[in-house]
Amino acid sequence: MTKKITLPSGKIATLKKGRGFDLLQAQQKAKTSEEIPYALIAELAEIDGQKLVYEDILELDLEDVIALQAEISGKFTEAKAKEVKEETQKPLEQIIA
């Protein structure tokens, strides 16, 4: 599944749904942990039909980078795990009554 957005510069970004592999690739390409979000954008986004590398993301307009970061980080907030509630068994007295 992909999502298309118009960036503040007017460029069209196509974002693919990420996988664990994409995150691993971004982590391997980033030189520091602070660079991982930029490398992840490069893994998940195409801009105006062009696949970009990590260094290309650093050259984008600041507003475009912030918009892309917001889209990518929004996916992380939606992907929260939910706690599974265990069923409690009723005491035998309640079942018989």
pLDDT score recorded for residue 85: 75
Asked if residue 66 lies in contact with residue 74, where contact means CB atoms within 8 angstroms, the answer is no
Q: Which domain holds residue 72?
A: 2-96
Alpha helix (H) ranges present in the chain? 20-29, 36-44, 54-58, 62-78, 92-96
As for how many domains the chain has, the answer is 1
Asked which of 26-40, 52-66, 79-93 is least confident by mean pLDDT, the reply is 79-93
CA distance 40 to 18: 9
pTM: 0.74
User: What's the DSSP call for residue 53?
Assistant: -
